[in-house]
């Protein structure tokens, strides 16, 4: 049976172009194609995990690694001292569009309030 794939799997496997900033055996980080801020990078596990709901206790190290890669990238991008935001959207109400877990690193200017409330 064919292994499940995703848009981000194609980027991770270099089958689809992306501006990859970092990759190791666990995660890949690349610039968001439609940046919401001057710096907008996605940190993605190489293994397909669809949502936060699919994480297991054995993924504790992976999730910690994703956060530490994000903080390293924030330093590399020069936004660590001014500050930034890390976001993981989950499913429909959380605004998740791509069903492959990803951590957004956004910054480079003041980001304003945490949430936009729909009317
Ligand atoms: P989310 O709404 O949390 O699922 O975020 C998905 C993100 O993936 C959005 O910010 C998109 O702009 C971004 N995105 C979609 N396609 C690509 C792509 N081919 N390369 C880089 N980022 C992408």
pLDDT of residue 119: 65
Contact residues of ligand 1, CB 6 A cut-off:
7, 18, 30, 32-34, 42, 89, 95-98
Q: What is the CA radius of gyration of the chain?
A: 14
In this structure, the residue with its CA closest to atom 17 of ligand 1 is 33
**CA 16 to ligand 1 centroid distance, Å:** 13
Residue 107 near residue 85 (C-beta atoms within 8 A) = yes
**CA 32 to ligand 1 centroid distance, Å:** 6
pLDDT tens, position by position, 85-109: 999 999 999 999 999 999 999 999 9
For the chain, the 3-state helix, strand and coil shares in percent, each to the nearest 5, are 30, 20, 50
User: What is the residue extent of each domain of the chain?
Assistant: 7-107
pLDDT of residue 1: 38
- CATH superfamily of the domain spanning 7-107: HIT-like (3.30.428.10)
pLDDT of residue 2: 43
Which of 92, 98, 102 for a ligand 1 pocket mutation test, highest count of atoms within 8 Å of Cβ?
A: 98
Q: Is 44 helix (H, G, I), strand (E, B) or coil?
A: strand
pTM for this predicted structure? 0.96
Q: Which helix (H) or strand (E) holds 20?
A: strand 20-23
Confidence of residue 14 (pLDDT cuts 50, 70, 90): very high
């Amino acid at each position: 049976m064919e292994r499940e794939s995703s848009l981000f799997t194609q980027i991770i496997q270099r089958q689809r172009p992306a501006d990859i900033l970092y990759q190791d055996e666990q995660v890949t980080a690349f610039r968001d194609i439609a940046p919401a801020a001057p710096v907008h990078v996605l940190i993605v596990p190489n293994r397909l995990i669809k949502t936060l709901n699919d994480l297991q206790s054995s993924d504790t190290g992976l999730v910690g690694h994703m956060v530490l890669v994000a903080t390293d990238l924030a330093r590399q991008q020069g936004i660590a001292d001014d500050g930034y935001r890390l976001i993981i959207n989950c499913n429909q109400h959380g605004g998740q569009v791509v069903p492959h877990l990803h951590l957004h690193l956004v910054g480079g200017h003041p980001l304003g309030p945490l949430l936009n409330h729909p009317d």
